[in-house]
Structure 1
Amino acid sequence: MRLPPKIDPAATAASAGASTPEPEPVPVLVLGASGRIGQVLRQTCAAAADRSDLLWRWQARRAPQNKPQNATETETGAEDWHLLDPLAMPDALAQAARGTRAILCLAGPVPGGRAGATAEPELLRQHSTLALATLEAAARAAEQTGHPPHVFLASSAAVYGAATGLLREDQPLMPLSPYGRAKAEMEQAALARAAELGLPLTQLRIGNIAGLDAILGGWRPGFCLDRFPTGLSPQRSYIGAARLAEVLIWLLRTGARADGDTPQSALPQVLNIAQPGPVEMAALLRAADLPYDTRPAPTGALPEVALDVSRLIGLLAPKATSAPPPWAKPALPQADPAELVAEARALQLLPAR
């Protein structure tokens, strides 16, 4: 397998003068591409289509409204859609995975929808069944090519639940919500099955995504925030939507182009995804100029969920090598409410007042 390429328009100083040949494009598959994260990921990829080194395959159950007519995969990385039900059509899913070197599963019920506190158990179980279906398709792809694709599964910070302090990937999980418990069960089942199949796996515990969250994205007139005895509203780990897309692209490239110099084992099995530092929800709404009320926080409400992202920062940190790769790693600056809001506004993710 080969090296990962550039993700950022700005080349690093080390690579600017390098004469490294462009790597041959490799296929990657994204399940759940019509969802909220998938839409931002597709938008980010489209903006970089002129320098794409990956052949993007997108899966959805039905065609998105903004899907190009007669879109096909080309040598420049144009969109290739696979419209199928991954649970009901395992053969079609395996065909979509054929030849891929990395697979990202974003599919699954979202916590703001029917996967909330009153979600049906069978709906929540889809997180595990979708993850296992993804792994089975990856295993079938590996049988055909001899190269097991690196599988990435979207998990959530909700798996930490009642745990306190800076939340590390290796600590015990204490999920509180049905969604958090479903994601924790998915992680456990997927880890065991990936080991049986001999597949490289990374589970992504994603923090709040500015503009796709219940605060900025879910704001409505009369919006109310919990207020704790400290006078603060809830604090959470956040990441900008476009920055998340850049991180996902970099991870897919790294998994797809792993070789002796950048082995897939360098990617951990569990990875927190957020920008450093928790953000107060009230600060986000003030930065977005969205009015809100407050109410006393109920018993059991979590004042803070702060992800330890040192593992991710370590992956993205510059490393001195004799032959630096011809791509730039995405930046991961301290989370700033004004910058998160500006990023969400540029993507038109903020609600109209």
Structure 2
Amino acid sequence: MIGDHLPACGILVMGATGRLGRLLQAEWAGMDGRVIWQGRAGALRDGWINWAPLEGPLSADLPELVGGTVLCLSGVIAGDSTALAANTALAEAACETAERLGARRVLLASSAAVYGRGHADGSPLDEAAPPTPVSPYGEAKADMERALLGRQGVTSLRIGNILGADALVGAALQRGGTVTLDPVAGQTGGPERSYIGPGALARVLAALCTYQGNLPQVLNIAAPGAVSMAELLDAVGLPWRFGAANPAALPRVELATARLEALFPRLAGSGDVAEMVADWRCAGKVWR
């Protein structure tokens, strides 16, 4: 089981009431007493920490997390520049809390959005590539990474598309109807993107939280390779069609996963669409 090697109270999860937090609650079941879940008032369970990080430091009397991890899932995904700047403030709060509790590691949920449009030739984007965001959200996450870069024990996780919580399958399931894809010359399945199944993501995060060695300052999180949007929609059973040609369409955005695979071979999955969809059907109900 995922929690077999977790020490008591070894992980503080910030932002646990969001979709990713709900996924971890389901996938990390049976780990009561080993994980401290944080959220804000209104949706908390018994034993949770009620704390609004942007309103002041954590005041709860918590056990020390010596050798443990602070996993910061807290973030702002929309709004003006002031609202999005809270991503940096939340990350800084995570680091301050880790120092106070004696945690050895802070994992910050960043995003593949920091890469922007990616490489023109579609080659994999590795962690050494400088951020070139094109969206306000991507810019905010890049700012967050820069603000914390170089801090001891801090790793920014550039998470790729999470099946079921993405702008393709997740959005289609919510709105219904037929999905319109951009045609791409030479690619019968349309645009290709890096993905990870929700269950695989939960396993990767558990492994990162409990890893005893040193982690890189930046780490891409995705299954190897990239999958076509059409193949993904077909596997899930969602109708789609090609729309008009779109010169701005990105044929392929692939995250390099060599660093992740070196740490945890195949833990993120193989990149096979059928495997990823099976993972989603098993674990992804929490997104709906």
- Class of the TM-score when normalised by the shorter of the 2 chains: 0.7 to 0.9
> Is the Cα contact below 8 Å between 1:24 and 1:53 reproduced in 2?
no
Describe how 1:219-234 pairs up with structure 2 within 5 A.
Answer: 219=172, 220-230=176-186, 231-234=188-191
Assess, with a 3 A threshold, how the Cα gap between structure 1 residues 45 and 333 changes in structure 2: closer, same or farther. closer
- Corresponding residue of 1:182: 140
What TM-score, normalized by structure 1, do the two folds share?
0.73
Q: Secondary structure at the match of 1:91?
A: coil
Rounded to whole Å, the distance in 2 between the matches of 1:96 and 1:31 is 14
1:286 paired with 2:253, answer no
> Is the Cα contact below 8 Å between 2:200 and 2:269 reproduced in 1?
no
> Is the Cα contact below 8 Å between 1:217 and 1:350 reproduced in 2?
no
Assess, with a 3 A threshold, how the Cα gap between structure 1 residues 8 and 136 changes in structure 2: closer, same or farther. closer
Q: Secondary structure at the match of 2:17?
A: coil
> Is the Cα contact below 8 Å between 1:63 and 1:83 reproduced in 2?
no
- Corresponding residue of 1:27: 10
Describe how 1:1-353 pairs up with structure 2 within 5 A.
Answer: 7=2, 25-46=8-29, 49=30, 52=31, 55-64=34-43, 68=45, 71-72=46-47, 81-92=48-59, 95-96=61-62, 98-99=64-65, 101-110=68-77, 115=78, 119-142=79-102, 148-164=103-119, 165-192=123-150, 194=151, 199-219=152-172, 220-230=176-186, 231-254=188-211, 258=212, 263=213, 266-317=214-265, 331-349=267-285
Q: CA shift at 1:127, angstroms?
A: 1.1
Q: CA shift at 1:221, angstroms?
A: 1.0
What TM-score, normalized by structure 2, do the two folds share?
0.88
> Is the Cα contact below 8 Å between 2:13 and 2:37 reproduced in 1?
yes
| Range that drifts further, 204-213 or 230-239 | 230-239
Residues 206-245 of structure 1: CA deviation (Å, up to 9, x unaligned): 1100111111111021322222233542211110001100
Q: Secondary structure at the match of 1:271?
A: strand
AA of the residue aligned to 1:41: L
Q: CA shift at 1:136, angstroms?
A: 1.6
Gaps of 5+ in 1: 1-5, 10-21, 73-80, 143-147, 318-329
Gaps of 5+ in 2: none
> Is the Cα contact below 8 Å between 1:40 and 1:245 reproduced in 2?
yes
> Is the Cα contact below 8 Å between 1:29 and 1:97 reproduced in 2?
no
Rounded to whole Å, the distance in 2 between the matches of 1:140 and 1:202 is 18
Q: CA shift at 1:42, angstroms?
A: 0.9
Q: After TM superposition, what 4+ stretches of structure 1 lie above 6 angstroms from structure 2?
A: none
Residue identity (%): 40
RMSD, matched Cα:
2.5
Q: CA shift at 1:351, angstroms?
A: 8.9
AA of the residue aligned to 1:305: V
Assess, with a 3 A threshold, how the Cα gap between structure 1 residues 351 and 208 changes in structure 2: closer, same or farther. closer
> Is the Cα contact below 8 Å between 2:114 and 2:131 reproduced in 1?
yes
> Is the Cα contact below 8 Å between 2:27 and 2:283 reproduced in 1?
no
Q: CA shift at 1:350, angstroms?
A: 9.2
Residues 299-350 of structure 1: CA deviation (Å, up to 9, x unaligned): 3332211011011110114xxxxxxxxxxxx733321222222222223549
Rounded to whole Å, the distance in 2 between the matches of 1:336 and 1:55 is 32
Greater relative CO, 1 or 2 (CA 8 Å, sep 6+): 1
